[in-house]
Amino acid sequence: MQKDLLPFEREHRDILIKKEATTDQNFGCDPNKRTVEKLISYGVVNLNKPQGPTSHQISDYVQKILGVAKAGHSGTLDPNVTGCLPIALDKATRIVQTLLIAGKEYVGVMHLHKEVTKDEIESVFKNFLGKINQIPPRKSAVKRQMREREIYYFNILEIEDKDILFKIGCQAGTYIRKICDDFGKKLGTGAHMAELIRTKAGPFKIEESFTLHDLNDAYSLLKNENKEKEIRRIILPIEKGVEHLNKIWVTDKTVNNLCHGADLFSPGVSKLHKNIDKNELVAIMTLKEELICLAETELNSEEILKKEKGLIAKTKKVFMERNIYT
């Protein structure tokens, strides 16, 4: 089994059936069969951020290329940092809030200020696994106070003189620049981050990302030649943005109530992921795999399965438009 996995990637997501149900093909739509227009106003781009622009500038570029009313990014990358920057489009922008809290992976180069042995370096790496305490750097958007973050994995890929190529999987909000600084202090040599690429942001991966040029070319093909293939490769349905969350699927007749902001009650549940905890943020889905809303659970999976009536989850953010299921 591959060990360099973020927490949601390690989970075995068995599905439990609470109530057998079918879905009426007259209502709703498979997310992969939406029109291109719908995709552009309700999708996500897995962008490979270049060095130089800020994350906010990249969002602006995407917005202008596609001509959408708004676009939002899923967690700031420093101007000099490259890599995965999911950008949500138009009506999908609120989905980035689920990605802000998702685990991240980076590959970077840490430069030591003095040469030491490989054994010394490896012994210090072990101190940065699991729960660590970290004070954000001076140039950060958050208050500078001690906070706990979790490091899921931290591996040496290569050592060349004073440079260490590393890969790290960590909880959202971990400052890699500060990790490098603290590492240098622990080693007694001093160190700084020389280069950094974000390779995963929740369910989005660097190898599946696209550049601004790719997006611009794909949109030109759509507008000038009416060719949809490339833009469909680049813009993903909003549902990709909740791939890392546990899910509850509901019956067709429950959908519209949820779209109006109602909470989810037991009779509406058809199936669910096995490892849901109480007070967990979950994605509520149709049986066609469409995202309806995000909700916070009142019970765990086992309790939901047994409960015949009563409240299951409180609706937090609704994404599906009303009256699609009537």
List the catalytic residues: 78
Q: Could you give the 3-state DSSP secondary structure of residue 224?
A: helix
Whether 170 contacts 152, CB under 8 Å: yes
296, 289, 287: which is closest to 314 by C-alpha? Answer: 296
DSSP string for 18-46: SS-----TTSS--GGGS-HHHHHHSEEEE
Whether 58 contacts 75, CB under 8 Å: no
Q: Could you give the 3-state DSSP secondary structure of residue 300?
A: coil
Q: How far apart are CA 133 and CA 249, in angstroms?
A: 38
Tokens of 304: 């939901």
Q: How far apart are CA 14 and CA 325, in angstroms?
A: 27
Q: Is 161 exposed, middle or buried (0-12, 13-18, 19+ CB in 10 A)?
A: exposed
Residues with Cβ within 8 Å of residue 223, at least 6 apart in sequence: none
Tokens of 119: 């054994």
Which residues is 89 bridged to in the sheet?
Answer: 71
Tokens of 249: 């699927």
Q: How far apart are CA 233 and CA 32, in angstroms?
A: 11
Residue type, 12: H
Tokens of 43: 């999708």
